[in-house]
Structure 1
């Protein structure tokens, strides 16, 4: 699975794609709830838009 994340001040727009490039889910998530959402896709690779709102995200390997 792959996540594309566009972070805004209060929410993030997230697109989830499978290995074949098919859109699985597209959702708007409040930044406060990103951890809960990410748990659903644990192990997926993520791409984050380069933005000044990076402080909403904490990435770990």
Structure 2
């Protein structure tokens, strides 16, 4: 039954056990916001580099 659990599954179970359901949802929200900010920052950097390359090609 637990053969396909893996490390990520164990981490989620441990976090849920340690912090409880209320804290887990707060941690999940914070993690989601962090990923969202990271994604937008990386997209901004990629767009900036594309603009630089486009300007150099002319």
Structure number with larger C-alpha Rg: 2
TM-score normalised by L of structure 2: 0.23
TM-score normalised by L of structure 1: 0.22
| Greater RCO, CA 8 A, separation 6+ | 1
Q: Name whichever structure is richer in strand by fraction.
A: 1
Q: Name whichever structure is richer in helix by fraction.
A: 2
